[in-house]
Amino acid sequence: MDMDMCMCCKFIWLIIMFFYGTLIFMFGIGFNEPTFSIERFYVPALDNISNDTLNPFIFVDLQLINPNDQQTVHYSALNVSIFYGQQNKSSPILLPNVAVVSIPGFNQESSDIAHRLEMVTATGVDWETARQEVLNGTTVFQVDLQTKLRYEQFIWKTKRFSIMVGGDVKVNDQGSMVKTKKKGVKLTSGSIRHVVHFGYVAGSVGFVLLSLWS
Protein backbone atom coordinates (compact mmCIF):
# COMPACT_ATOMS: atom_id res chain seq x y z
CA MET A 1 0.00 0.00 0.00
CA ASP A 2 2.79 2.41 1.00
CA MET A 3 4.59 1.41 -2.11
CA ASP A 4 1.55 2.30 -4.22
CA MET A 5 1.24 5.70 -2.57
CA CYS A 6 4.84 6.39 -3.32
CA MET A 7 4.44 5.38 -6.92
CA CYS A 8 1.39 7.61 -7.14
CA CYS A 9 3.34 10.55 -5.70
CA LYS A 10 6.16 10.00 -8.12
CA PHE A 11 3.70 9.82 -10.95
CA ILE A 12 2.21 13.17 -9.91
CA TRP A 13 5.70 14.70 -9.65
CA LEU A 14 6.41 13.37 -13.10
CA ILE A 15 3.31 15.05 -14.49
CA ILE A 16 4.19 18.30 -12.73
CA MET A 17 7.72 18.15 -14.12
CA PHE A 18 6.34 17.47 -17.55
CA PHE A 19 4.17 20.60 -17.36
CA TYR A 20 7.04 22.55 -15.90
CA GLY A 21 9.26 21.47 -18.77
CA THR A 22 6.54 22.43 -21.23
CA LEU A 23 6.20 25.87 -19.62
CA ILE A 24 9.94 26.43 -19.83
CA PHE A 25 9.95 25.36 -23.43
CA MET A 26 6.95 27.45 -24.47
CA PHE A 27 7.48 30.64 -22.50
CA GLY A 28 11.10 30.66 -21.45
CA ILE A 29 9.93 30.95 -17.85
CA GLY A 30 12.79 31.47 -15.46
CA PHE A 31 15.08 33.03 -18.06
CA ASN A 32 16.04 36.66 -18.38
CA GLU A 33 16.37 38.31 -21.74
CA PRO A 34 19.86 39.40 -22.67
CA THR A 35 20.51 43.13 -22.71
CA PHE A 36 21.63 44.82 -25.89
CA SER A 37 23.30 48.20 -26.09
CA ILE A 38 25.27 50.37 -28.46
CA GLU A 39 28.53 51.27 -26.74
CA ARG A 40 30.22 53.09 -29.59
CA PHE A 41 28.86 54.64 -32.76
CA TYR A 42 31.19 56.62 -34.99
CA VAL A 43 30.24 58.44 -38.19
CA PRO A 44 33.44 59.75 -39.85
CA ALA A 45 31.47 61.90 -42.31
CA LEU A 46 30.19 63.98 -39.40
CA ASP A 47 33.59 64.30 -37.72
CA ASN A 48 34.63 67.94 -37.98
CA ILE A 49 38.29 67.08 -37.34
CA SER A 50 38.81 64.44 -40.02
CA ASN A 51 36.75 66.51 -42.48
CA ASP A 52 36.17 63.26 -44.38
CA THR A 53 32.78 64.26 -45.71
CA LEU A 54 32.66 61.56 -48.38
CA ASN A 55 33.24 58.68 -45.99
CA PRO A 56 30.14 56.45 -46.21
CA PHE A 57 30.99 54.20 -43.26
CA ILE A 58 29.48 53.93 -39.80
CA PHE A 59 31.25 52.02 -37.03
CA VAL A 60 29.07 50.30 -34.48
CA ASP A 61 29.96 48.49 -31.26
CA LEU A 62 27.08 46.30 -30.13
CA GLN A 63 27.28 44.91 -26.60
CA LEU A 64 25.34 41.82 -25.57
CA ILE A 65 25.03 40.72 -21.95
CA ASN A 66 23.66 37.37 -20.87
CA PRO A 67 22.35 38.15 -17.37
CA ASN A 68 21.49 34.54 -16.54
CA ASP A 69 23.98 32.89 -14.23
CA GLN A 70 23.27 29.36 -15.36
CA GLN A 71 21.82 29.48 -18.84
CA THR A 72 23.53 29.70 -22.18
CA VAL A 73 21.90 31.85 -24.86
CA HIS A 74 21.92 30.63 -28.46
CA TYR A 75 21.50 33.51 -30.89
CA SER A 76 20.40 33.16 -34.49
CA ALA A 77 21.73 35.80 -36.91
CA LEU A 78 21.52 39.26 -35.36
CA ASN A 79 20.10 41.69 -37.90
CA VAL A 80 20.97 45.31 -37.27
CA SER A 81 19.21 48.10 -39.19
CA ILE A 82 20.20 51.73 -38.97
CA PHE A 83 17.78 54.53 -39.78
CA TYR A 84 18.54 58.19 -40.15
CA GLY A 85 16.52 60.49 -37.92
CA GLN A 86 14.28 60.08 -34.93
CA GLN A 87 11.00 58.29 -35.39
CA ASN A 88 8.00 60.46 -34.56
CA LYS A 89 5.82 57.95 -32.71
CA SER A 90 2.60 59.71 -33.74
CA SER A 91 3.53 59.99 -37.38
CA PRO A 92 3.16 57.14 -39.86
CA ILE A 93 6.10 58.35 -41.96
CA LEU A 94 8.95 55.84 -41.65
CA LEU A 95 12.56 56.85 -41.40
CA PRO A 96 14.90 56.05 -44.27
CA ASN A 97 16.81 52.83 -43.68
CA VAL A 98 20.43 53.73 -44.35
CA ALA A 99 22.28 50.53 -43.45
CA VAL A 100 21.69 46.86 -42.70
CA VAL A 101 24.09 44.26 -41.37
CA SER A 102 23.54 40.65 -40.40
CA ILE A 103 25.87 39.47 -37.65
CA PRO A 104 26.34 35.69 -37.53
CA GLY A 105 24.61 33.91 -34.67
CA PHE A 106 26.62 32.54 -31.75
CA ASN A 107 26.33 30.98 -28.31
CA GLN A 108 26.83 33.11 -25.23
CA GLU A 109 27.80 31.53 -21.92
CA SER A 110 26.07 32.50 -18.69
CA SER A 111 26.99 35.92 -17.22
CA ASP A 112 29.06 36.74 -20.30
CA ILE A 113 29.54 40.13 -21.96
CA ALA A 114 30.13 40.06 -25.71
CA HIS A 115 30.91 42.77 -28.24
CA ARG A 116 30.38 42.83 -31.96
CA LEU A 117 32.22 45.53 -33.89
CA GLU A 118 30.70 46.27 -37.26
CA MET A 119 31.55 48.61 -40.07
CA VAL A 120 28.55 49.33 -42.28
CA THR A 121 28.14 51.38 -45.43
CA ALA A 122 25.44 54.02 -45.13
CA THR A 123 23.43 55.00 -48.17
CA GLY A 124 20.71 57.61 -48.44
CA VAL A 125 21.72 59.80 -45.50
CA ASP A 126 21.00 63.47 -46.12
CA TRP A 127 24.54 64.41 -45.13
CA GLU A 128 24.05 68.14 -45.64
CA THR A 129 21.18 68.25 -43.14
CA ALA A 130 23.06 65.92 -40.79
CA ARG A 131 26.10 68.22 -40.81
CA GLN A 132 23.93 71.26 -40.19
CA GLU A 133 22.29 69.45 -37.30
CA VAL A 134 25.52 68.46 -35.61
CA LEU A 135 26.76 72.02 -35.90
CA ASN A 136 23.67 72.97 -33.91
CA GLY A 137 24.06 70.12 -31.44
CA THR A 138 23.35 66.51 -32.37
CA THR A 139 21.72 64.42 -35.04
CA VAL A 140 19.99 61.11 -34.42
CA PHE A 141 20.29 57.61 -35.84
CA GLN A 142 17.88 54.89 -34.84
CA VAL A 143 19.41 51.43 -34.41
CA ASP A 144 17.14 48.39 -34.51
CA LEU A 145 18.08 44.81 -33.76
CA GLN A 146 16.16 41.69 -34.69
CA THR A 147 17.12 38.20 -33.74
CA LYS A 148 15.84 34.92 -32.44
CA LEU A 149 17.25 33.17 -29.43
CA ARG A 150 16.84 30.11 -27.29
CA TYR A 151 18.01 29.36 -23.78
CA GLU A 152 19.77 26.23 -22.64
CA GLN A 153 20.14 24.88 -19.15
CA PHE A 154 21.30 21.36 -18.25
CA ILE A 155 19.73 19.33 -21.04
CA TRP A 156 16.79 21.65 -21.59
CA LYS A 157 16.54 24.01 -24.50
CA THR A 158 13.66 26.39 -25.02
CA LYS A 159 12.00 27.15 -28.32
CA ARG A 160 13.17 30.21 -30.26
CA PHE A 161 11.98 33.60 -29.05
CA SER A 162 11.84 36.61 -31.34
CA ILE A 163 13.61 39.71 -30.18
CA MET A 164 12.94 43.15 -31.66
CA VAL A 165 14.65 46.02 -29.89
CA GLY A 166 15.82 49.49 -30.81
CA GLY A 167 17.22 52.77 -29.59
CA ASP A 168 18.09 56.31 -30.63
CA VAL A 169 21.77 57.18 -30.90
CA LYS A 170 22.71 60.86 -30.76
CA VAL A 171 25.78 61.84 -32.74
CA ASN A 172 27.78 65.04 -32.21
CA ASP A 173 30.04 67.14 -34.45
CA GLN A 174 32.94 64.78 -33.83
CA GLY A 175 30.93 61.99 -35.41
CA SER A 176 30.74 60.22 -32.07
CA MET A 177 27.87 58.95 -30.03
CA VAL A 178 26.81 61.16 -27.13
CA LYS A 179 26.85 59.12 -23.93
CA THR A 180 24.88 60.16 -20.89
CA LYS A 181 26.73 59.29 -17.67
CA LYS A 182 29.24 57.33 -19.78
CA LYS A 183 26.56 54.76 -20.55
CA GLY A 184 25.77 53.33 -23.94
CA VAL A 185 22.33 53.37 -25.54
CA LYS A 186 20.25 50.45 -24.39
CA LEU A 187 18.14 48.82 -27.07
CA THR A 188 14.69 48.14 -25.69
CA SER A 189 11.44 46.64 -26.88
CA GLY A 190 7.77 46.90 -26.24
CA SER A 191 8.47 43.76 -24.18
CA ILE A 192 8.42 40.35 -25.76
CA ARG A 193 7.54 38.53 -22.56
CA HIS A 194 5.85 39.68 -19.38
CA VAL A 195 6.63 36.71 -17.24
CA VAL A 196 10.06 37.40 -15.83
CA HIS A 197 8.97 37.84 -12.20
CA PHE A 198 6.55 34.97 -12.35
CA GLY A 199 9.41 33.13 -14.03
CA TYR A 200 11.60 33.48 -10.97
CA VAL A 201 8.88 31.95 -8.80
CA ALA A 202 8.16 29.16 -11.25
CA GLY A 203 11.88 28.51 -11.66
CA SER A 204 12.42 28.24 -7.90
CA VAL A 205 9.42 25.97 -7.40
CA GLY A 206 10.60 23.78 -10.26
CA PHE A 207 14.06 23.58 -8.76
CA VAL A 208 12.65 22.43 -5.41
CA LEU A 209 10.49 19.84 -7.15
CA LEU A 210 13.48 18.64 -9.08
CA SER A 211 15.51 18.29 -5.87
CA LEU A 212 12.73 16.33 -4.15
CA TRP A 213 12.34 14.05 -7.11
CA SER A 214 15.98 13.02 -7.30
Ligand X SMILES: *[C@@H]1O[C@H](CO)[C@@H](O)[C@H](O)[C@H]1NC(C)=O
Cβ 106 to ligand X, closest distance in Å?
14
Task: Quote the least distance from Cβ 82 to ligand X, whole Å.
Answer: 14
Q: How far is the CB of 25 from ligand X (least distance, A)?
A: 19
114 strand-pairing partners? 64
**Which positions touch ligand X (CB under 6 A)?**
48-49, 51, 77, 79, 88, 90-91, 102, 132-133, 136, 146-148, 173-174
Inter-residue contact 175 to 50 (CB < 8 Å)? yes
Chain centre to alpha carbon of residue 160: 14
If we measure between CA atoms, which residue out of 126, 139, 158 comes closest to residue 41? 139
80 close to 163: Cβ distance less than 8 angstroms: no
Minimum CB separation from ligand X for residue 50, in Å? 9
- Of 23 and 81, which CB lies nearer to ligand X in the complex structure? 81
> Which run of H or of E encompasses 135?
helix 127-136
Residue closer to ligand X by CB (options 89, 197) is 89
Residue 114's nearest CA partner among 79, 157, 56, 75 is 75
